[in-house]
Amino acid sequence: MSNLVYLVPLFPLIGFLINGLARNSLSKGMTSVIGSGVILASFVVSILLFLQVKEGNAVTVTLFDFINTGKLSIPFSFQVDQLSSIFLLVITGVGFLIHLYSTAYMHEESNAHFARYFAYLNLFVFSMLLLVMGGNYLIMFIGWEGVGLCSYLLIGYWFKNNDYSNAAKKAFIMNRIGDFGFLLALFWMIQHFGSLTFGEVFARADGMNMNDTVLVGITLLLFLGATGKSAQIPLYTWLPDAMAGPTPVSALIHAATMVTAGIYMIARSNILYTLAPVTQGVVAVIGLATAILAATIALKQNDIKKVLAYSTVSQLGYMFLGLGVGAYTGAVFHVMTHAFFKALLFLGAGSVIHAMHHEQDIRNMGGLKKHLPVTHWTFLIGCIAIAGIPPLSGFFSKDEILAAAFSANVVYWVIGVLGAVMTAFYMFRLYATTFLGKFRGTHEQEHHLHESPAAMTWPLIILAVLSVVAGFVGIPAVLGGSHELQQFLAPVFAGSVKLQEAHHLDHATEYILMGASVGAAALAILYAVSRFSKKPDLEEASGFGKLLQNKWYVDELYDAVIVKPLRGMSAFLNNVVEKLGIDGAVNGVGKLVHYGARQLRLLQSGQVGIYLLMMVIAAFVLFIIQLFVK
């Protein structure tokens, strides 16, 4: 089966090349078939690989020596094990559904742009596959930057709109700040471990002391990379702006897959993090802070995609909380369930936007339930799943993270539950404002309201089913399950589990925790639905609400504290230091020589007497010098 491995990224690469190079001659139908077909092919191979891995056959395949100089040897290699095979299924599976959905959603585009869109999307899947399949940190980094590029290209897909290209640029630059940390971590690993290959790095780290400076340094730098890619404090502000891209892109890249790369990376490096509890503490606190900050902002957003975007940031925060408290399986579990229900919610939002002719403000919606039945029901399932209501998938994964947080620190749990309550509230505020009550749009819009075509509704239905059932792979022992996902992933996290002190909550405590968080979420749902279904929140926010609506003014703060001063410094260097200082000095020397030459020329008067006089003076001076020097 090792000869199948390279096919997984190869198919999307081929799709990218065909759609990209032949974009002027392909029909939309052809583009759709190629673009979606290659992802389906990858999905099929991924299933085969998954079945093999399930048998216990994790493999590493080396294609060629990538960099090989003296001490440093970095192969171009792929590793398919339990962790990557789960991600492969999610990326290619959800990826295929979103490609399919896009064939209908993007139909208004001209042929060339339609093909450009699919080329980018294929390239994205290719990069994402490199990221999760890489057998060492460098290949992971190639995918890591590759997905950032595709994200940039797709956010700015409608390049004529300057706001969109600003958003694209912001995403890329903030990710680059994260990559700065990632790269430093790579160099440090090379210096300390002499390798970037996962197995070698982890084996060499295994014997090191807890909280060794090198480990703390490396893990913190890697985490800086993760805050960029996975939109955590302080680098999260690009993700809400990234909603400028087409909605299926938001679903695939900015919800289901790319933004979970940071979680994948840390889960992959779990042994390093377990050995650096200091960093784990940082990860947990940043994750929790992001979860709660983004949730507060989501409470007051009126753009359907913005609510989902902040919700994504918040959910990613939960995943980091899970990683920070050592619940690696829980974090990966939540990546998976979140991929299903958040992709579902975004695609549902896309279906709404499609029906509403590009309207995204939920204050102008309402009562869409009867016009968009499939969208409505599937969206509702997504909302219940993300709110953590059993037995839908979000419940199991979120509960696992919260239970681990409780074991680590009760405060984590309290804040985590608070965030979960807010999640339930804002999701049902969104749901009720959009789908319940009366329609508030224009007459024109109402006349054209329609359910989306099958290519869009089928992905919704499949994702809705997955959002319902995906949690059953991780039923905890306390609820009579055997947590199959945990058993499956056990080999990946074995090293960490060995080092972690086991703290088992007794069943009674677990029941109380579950009951408390589910009960609070349910109350929030009831409150939100009863409040917003009849009388949606249409007025402009004021006071604290305005602060939330304006996202705590973090963008403005960054602009004032970082961007403006740097720009000013840049202008100062250009206008003063370069032009007046360095170049001024150079030109000054030129002028001086010019001036001096003009003055000296006067001496060449042609009068022999003056020459003689000068000769005498010079001889005298030389004589004096001789006298004093010797």
Partner 1 sequence: MDPKDVLITFPELLLWFPLISGLIAFTLKNGNSAKNWAVTSSFISLAIAVTSLFFMDSGKYFNLNNVSYYWMPSIGSSFALKYDGMARLLVMLNAVAFPLVFLSTYKQNYKNPNSFYGLMLLTQAGLAGVFCAMDALVFYFFWELALIPVYFLSSIWGGERRIQATFKFFVYTFAGSLLLLVGIIYVYLRTPEQSFSLNAFMQASIPAVQGKFIFWLFFIAFAIKMPIFPFHTWQPDAYEQSPTGVTMILSGVMVKMGIYAVIRWLIPVFPAQTAAFADLIIWLSVIGMLYASFLAWQQNDLKRLIAYSSIAHIGLMCAAIFARNESGLDGVMVQMFNHGVNVIALWIVVELIERNYGTRKISELGGLAATAPTLTVFLVVAALANIALPLTNAFIGEFLMFNGLFEYGKAVTAIALVSIILAAVYTLNMIQKVFYGEANMSLAGVGAPVLGKGAITALAVIVVIIFAAGVYPRPMLELTQDSVNLFFNKLKGL
| Interacting residue ranges for partner 1, rule: CB under 8 A | 64-72, 112, 138, 141-142, 145-146, 149, 152, 156, 159-162, 165-166, 168-169, 172-173, 176-177, 179-180, 183-184, 186-188, 190-191, 566-567, 569-571, 573-575, 577-578, 582-583, 586-587, 590
CB of 125 to partner 1, least distance (A): 15
Nearer to partner 1, 158 or 439 (CB): 158
268 conformational bin, left if phi > 0, alpha if psi -120 to 50, beta if neither: alpha
CB of 180 to partner 1, least distance (A): 5
CB of 564 to partner 1, least distance (A): 13
3-state SS, residue 442: coil
Nearer to partner 1, 145 or 399 (CB): 145
Residue type, position 364, single letter: N
Nearer to partner 1, 33 or 183 (CB): 183
Measured CA to CA, the distance from residue 359 to residue 362 in angstroms comes to 8
Residue type, position 367, single letter: G
Q: Mark 274-284 as b/e (b = at least 16 C-beta within 10 Å).
A: bbbbebbebbb
Nearer to partner 1, 134 or 441 (CB): 134
DSSP, res 134: B
CB count within 10 Å of CB 337 equals 25
Residues in the chain: 630
Residues 244, 168 contacting (CB under 8 angstroms):
yes
E strands present in 491-611:
none
Nearer to partner 1, 490 or 580 (CB): 580
**Cα–chain center distance at 178:** 11
Q: Please identify which residue in the block is written with the tokens 């007794």.
A: 506
> What is the DSSP secondary-structure string of 41-54?
HHHHHHHHHHHHHH
Q: Which two tokens stand for residue 187?
A: 């160099």
Measured CA to CA, the distance from residue 87 to residue 91 in angstroms comes to 6
CB of 454 to partner 1, least distance (A): 32
Nearer to partner 1, 217 or 281 (CB): 217
CB of 235 to partner 1, least distance (A): 12
Measured CA to CA, the distance from residue 252 to residue 603 in angstroms comes to 81
CB of 403 to partner 1, least distance (A): 39
CB of 200 to partner 1, least distance (A): 17
3-state SS, residue 75: strand
Nearer to partner 1, 582 or 610 (CB): 582
CB of 241 to partner 1, least distance (A): 14
DSSP, res 357: T
Q: Burial of 36 by CB count in 10 Å (0-12 exposed, 13-18 middle, 19+ buried)?
A: buried
Write the CB contacts of 363 (distance below 8 Å, at least 6 apart in sequence). Answer: 302, 433, 440, 536, 537, 538
Q: Mark 224-257 as b/e (b = at least 16 C-beta within 10 Å).
A: bbbbbbbbbbebbbbbbbbbbbbbbbbbbbbbbb
Nearer to partner 1, 185 or 427 (CB): 185
Write the CB contacts of 55 (distance below 8 Å, at least 6 apart in sequence). Answer: none
CB of 571 to partner 1, least distance (A): 6
CB of 378 to partner 1, least distance (A): 35
Nearer to partner 1, 145 or 400 (CB): 145
Nearer to partner 1, 227 or 397 (CB): 227
Nearer to partner 1, 78 or 340 (CB): 78
CB of 13 to partner 1, least distance (A): 11
Measured CA to CA, the distance from residue 16 to residue 21 in angstroms comes to 8
